[in-house]
Amino acid sequence: MKPKLAPISKACPKIRGPILEINSLRKVFHINGSSLTVLDGIDFSVNKGEMICILGRSGCGKSTLLKMLAGFLSPSSGEILLNGKPVADPGPDRCVVFQEDTLFPWLTVKENIAFGLKGRTRDKKAFDEEVERFLSLVGLSEFTNYLPREISGGMKQRVALARVLILKPEVLLMDEPFASLDAQTREEMQNFLLSLWENLSHTIIFVTHDVTEAVTLADRILVMSKDPGRIREEIRVDLPRPRKREKSDFLFFSRKLYERLRE
Amino acid sequence: MMEKENNSIHNSVFALLPWVIPAVFMLTWIIVSETRLIPTYLLPHPVEIGKAGYTYIFRNPGDAPFAGRFLNDAGASLIRVCSGFAAAVILGIPLGIISGRLASVRKLMSTTINALRAVPGISWLPLAMIWFGIGIKTTVFLIALAAFFPIYLNSAAGARQINPLLLQAGAMMGVNRLRGTFAILLPGAMPHIMTGLRLGLGISWAYLVLGELTGVPNGLGAVIMDARMLGRIDIIVVGIIIIAVMGRAGDQLLKTSLRFCFKSARRMA
């Protein structure tokens, strides 16, 4: 373990050292002969069980960064290490919940949740039990046989969560997953994600452009700037949990962050 | 209550809708025959067609010209349509899916496919007769050739329009290429594939008749050709109606069996 990493905090017993390390990551896109540096000099590490938010305005490269962590894009230079091993391809150890609806429209809620687990176990009974467990974990036991087009946007994102959580990923990557939901559902989903996280202690990297969302969720916020995309600062959110969005310390923190983001 | 009743009336009218045009057509036919507006040597009376059809389908061979040939003809034609269509499916779907996913294959195929597609099927007939002689081989070749294009093009379109995020989602869940093809790509392309298959099967019937016009001894196209030689216009019409009925039934059977076999066909198309 490298000494530069954050010490294990006693207040937050989940944090058990680094799981993900990103070292001088850079991404250049070549379009029609000209090159565009989208990300430059990205350095950070994520501890096990930590909830990290990557906050930035649209076009700052935060989604590109997440795609590289997922393995959908390869870095132009620099490295991404998961448990010390470089990340090359997409894989079930780093699962993504997308902003868009990416459920398979020809599969029911249950079949979507079971999709990734198929072929991993021969034990039919254990398989079924596991699927049922995750169905009820996301509160969709009564919607087992519904098709994605028959359920609401919030429910779809619950299915999207369940189908990756069932694979027990090392890191859960979330790319503005609640951005296209209405405000009330979004808040519900944030609370739901927090309760899942408190029970299952996943490591989560959550990309968002919404300050309130970042302050609600994160242990740490990485604020990104544009052209080229860099991590401008790292802010530890030391508000106690559960955080109430209408309390003065929360509002104060959000406003300060919002002002800094505008600078 | 009222609304429900209205709805059930509405539904039964709706169920009859596909038969409205055939019914009007039949009625017009009867009227023009009864009033002798069209002479019977151009269009026989429906009753005559009915009698000819009965003779063709149910009477014993030898009782009258064309009597009892139906089973033999329909069987021969069905075998030809099925073999030609099957060949088109076996080539068309995999090639279509591959070229829909790989730009290089698409480029490679584009000129050839589009040039061949522009050649009307009938121009292949003389060449096919020289290559394969008169008989089943020529017919199957023509059907396979004609049905290939709609199946290939629609499969390619289906594979191409698939949401790339679905494939990414599969990759991140640890799905390998093989499973990705069968569990994501094919179901995702299913509505297009289904359209291609239905168009292909329809065209198969058209080219069946073309292939059978060349003097094969049996088949629905051959019957129509024989009837023309003998001036039996009633048998020509019987042949046309039988092909229409079998074509419609074939389409329904294709749709139903795809829906029965594939979730994606059941739930998306």
pLDDT digits (tens, 9 = 90+) for A184-215: 999 999 999 999 999 888 999 999 999 999 99
Whether A8 shows a pLDDT value over 90: the answer reads no
Please tell me the predicted confidence (pLDDT) of residue A3: 40
- The DSSP 8-state label assigned to residue A91 in this structure reads -
| B264 at interface of A, judged by CB pairs closer than 8 A | yes
8 Å CB contact between B142 and B124: yes
- pLDDT, mean of residues A23-49: 92
- Please state, in angstroms and as integers, the Cα–Cα distance from residue B188 to each residue in A66, A109, A251, B1, B123, following that order: 26, 17, 45, 41, 36
CA of B257 vs chain A CAs: smallest distance (Å):
17
A106 to chain B, any CB pair closer than 8 A? The answer is: yes
Nearest neighbour of A106 by CB, restricted to B163, B168, B268: B268
State how far residue A144 is from chain B, nearest Cα, in angstroms.
15
Say which of A96, A104, A106 has its CB closest to residue B172: A96
Contact A92/B163, CB-based, under 8 Å? no
Is the CA virtual torsion A29, A30, A36, A41 positive or negative? positive
Confidence at residue A11, expressed as pLDDT on a 0 to 100 scale: 43
The answer, yes or no, to whether residue A7 has pLDDT greater than 70, is no
Could you tell me if B169 and A98 are in contact, meaning their C-beta atoms sit under 8 angstroms apart?
A: yes
* Nearest residue to A45 via CA among A5, A88, A73, A3: A5
Provide, as residue numbers in chain A, all residues whose Cβ is less than 8 Å from the Cβ of B165: 98, 100, 102
User: Quick one: pLDDT at residue A10?
Assistant: 40
B201 or B61: which carries more pLDDT confidence?
A: B201
Q: How far is the C-alpha of A28 from the C-alpha of A150, rounded, in Å?
A: 41
- Mean pLDDT score, B53-65: 89
- Calculate Rg over the CA atoms of chain A: 19
The residue type of B219 is G
Average pLDDT, chain A: 90
What is the mean predicted confidence (pLDDT) over B213-228?
88
Enter the tokens of residue B18: 């596909």
- Report residue A62's pLDDT band, with 50, 70 and 90 as the boundaries: very high
pLDDT higher at B238 or B269: B238
Distance CA A131, CA A145 (A): 13
Q: What is the mean pLDDT of chain B?
A: 91
Q: How does pLDDT run across A113-137, given as a tens digit for each residue?
A: 999 999 888 889 999 999 999 999 9
The CA distance from A112 to A164, in Å, is: 10
Q: Give the integer Cα–Cα distance in Å for B181 and B184.
A: 6
Is residue A14 predicted with pLDDT exceeding 60? no
pLDDT at A13: 46
Interface touch B172/A119, C-beta < 8 Å: no
pLDDT at B50 over 90: yes
**Which of the four pLDDT bands, split at 50, 70 and 90, describes residue A167?**
very high
Of A106, A115, A147, the CB nearest to B173: A115
Q: Which residues of chain A lie closer than 8 angstroms to B268, CB-CB? A: 105-106
Flag whether pLDDT at B195 surpasses 90: yes
User: Does residue A258 belong to the interface with chain B, where contact is any CB pair within 8 Å?
Assistant: no
Kindly give the pairing relationship between strand A18-31 and strand A94-97.
Answer: unpaired
In this complex, is the C-beta atom of A147 within 8 Å of any C-beta atom belonging to chain B? yes
Cα–Cα–Cα angle for B96, B97, B102, rounded to 5 degrees: 100
Average pLDDT over residues A132-150: 95
Comparing B6 with B123, which gets the higher pLDDT? B123
Contact A90 B163 (CB under 8 A): no
A203 has which bridge partners? Answer: A171
- All residues of chain B having their beta carbon less than 8 Å from the beta carbon of residue A113 are none
A250, exposed or middle or buried, with CB in 10 Å at 0-12, 13-18, 19+? middle
Q: What pLDDT score does B8 carry?
A: 76
Residue of A nearest to B169 (CA): A102
Q: Rounded to a whole number, what is the distance in Å from the CA of A90 to chain B's nearest CA?
A: 5
pLDDT (mean) for B72-82: 94
Q: Is the pLDDT of residue B1 over 70?
A: no
Would you say residue A1 has pLDDT above 60? no
